[in-house]
Structures are given as structure tokens and as C-alpha cells.
Amino acid sequence: MKFGVVGTGVVGRTLASKLVALGHEVMIGSRSKDNPEALSWARGTGDRGKAGTFGDAARFGEILINCTQGAVSVNALRMIPRGDLKGKVLIDVANPLDLSGEMPPGLTICNRDSLGESIQREFPEAKVVKALNTCNCEVMVNPGRVNGKHDIFLCGNDAQAKEQVKQLLRDFGWESIIDLGGISSARATEQLMPIWLRLYGLYKTADFNFRIVRN
């Protein structure tokens, strides 16, 4: 399958590398065509992965993944021609962290709205699925890093799109996937960031995750 990874930070590169390892064709996109980290990542894959602009990556991918910084994601995605989003699954793994204020960060949007909803509202031609935003990127692509049972959440308005993402999550190694319903549940998973960040501060490692325990 062809994936377009929008954003070339550590999250984007980690997801892109996993997708390449799973045998997919991947293009990572950044604001400019000549982003050194993106080009270096592509070379590191033996050119099995490609690098381009946000628009190039979106045009290339059958499934897209938003890995840009959440606070600027909507603006970044606006750089993609609308036609290259049309009908595509857009997995949003970003969190709208507000890095402008005191630490740990709050959120730039929350409570009665969310980044996932904002993206779906702004780009109705895409099928937005919020997923993977509740753990560190190393855990995203290798849940076995954290011992024992733990969960990953997803939500979105399109049932078929969610099924595709669930299969991808299973390919990543996720055994317990909790479907929280429509995209408005992105509010719920994005608002896990405040406790995630404090637990990260407490444990000094990102190798932890949430588990919902029930009978």
C-alpha cells in the first residue's frame, strides 16, 4: 500500500520507517522539498522511502498520516491541494500541544472541540481517523516495548476507514484496540495528554501506556 506521511519530525519518521519495514511504499512530506532530515531518512531506507513536500506526500499516498505538530496541523494540511485529500483515509496522530505557555503543556484546543474534529471539519473530503495519539511514537509502532496488556484508541466518522486503520494497528502489533465512536471522541484521547505528560515526568521514560481494566 502507498502511504503519505505528512510531517517529518521524529513521529513521522518513526511511523514511516515502520511502514517501510512492513513492506509499504512511503513518502514523507515536509514544508519544503529539500528538508535535510527528510532526505536523510529517505536515503537511510535505501530509497525504499521517498521524501517530498506535504502535497507530494499526499498525492503519493492512498492512506495519509498527519504527524505535524498539532498546534499547526490545520495550517500545514491546508498546503495540500484539496483533490489530493479526496476520499482518502487521513490518520491523525497529532496532539494540539500548546508549547507557548508553562510546562507541561496544555492544549491549544480541547473540551468542546479537538484537533481531530477540526481537521475533519476543515477537510470534509478526507476520512479522518484519530489514532495512536495516546502513546510515544516508539510504542505506537512497537507496543511490545511495554510489557503486558495495554490499549490503543481510535475514533472517526467513517466505519470502513476505521476498519482499515484497525488492520494497520494490528500490523503494528496492537492486540487491544478500543473504538470510541465518531471523531468527536478525539476530545477524549487528546485530553489524555495532560496526564501522559505528567506520568512521563514522573517515570522519566515514555515506555508506558494506558490500559482500561474491566471485568
Which residues form the interface with a copy of itself (CB under 8 A)?
A: 101, 106-107, 110-112, 145-150, 153, 178, 180-181, 185, 187-189, 191-192, 194-195, 197-199, 201-203, 205, 207-215
User: Hey, what's the cell of 154?
Assistant: 481510535
| 51: three-class secondary structure by DSSP | strand
Identify the residue whose cell numbers are 476520499: 87
Nearer to a copy of itself, 79 or 199 (CB): 199
User: Hey, what's the cell of 53?
Assistant: 513536500
Nearer to a copy of itself, 36 or 181 (CB): 181
In the bound complex, what is the minimum distance in angstroms from residue 191's beta carbon to a copy of itself? 4
Find the DSSP H helices in 113-192: 115-122, 137-140, 159-172, 186-190
In the bound complex, what is the minimum distance in angstroms from residue 147's beta carbon to a copy of itself? 5
CA distance 188 to 201: 21
In the bound complex, what is the minimum distance in angstroms from residue 207's beta carbon to a copy of itself? 6
Nearer to a copy of itself, 46 or 213 (CB): 213
CA distance 204 to 210: 16
Nearer to a copy of itself, 54 or 172 (CB): 172
Nearer to a copy of itself, 1 or 212 (CB): 212
Instruction: Report the side by side order of strands in the sheet with 152-156.
Output: 49-53, 25-30, 2-6, 63-66, 89-92, 127-131, 152-156, 177-179
In the bound complex, what is the minimum distance in angstroms from residue 9's beta carbon to a copy of itself? 23
CA distance 31 to 27: 13
In the bound complex, what is the minimum distance in angstroms from residue 117's beta carbon to a copy of itself? 12
Identify the residue whose cell numbers are 496492537: 174
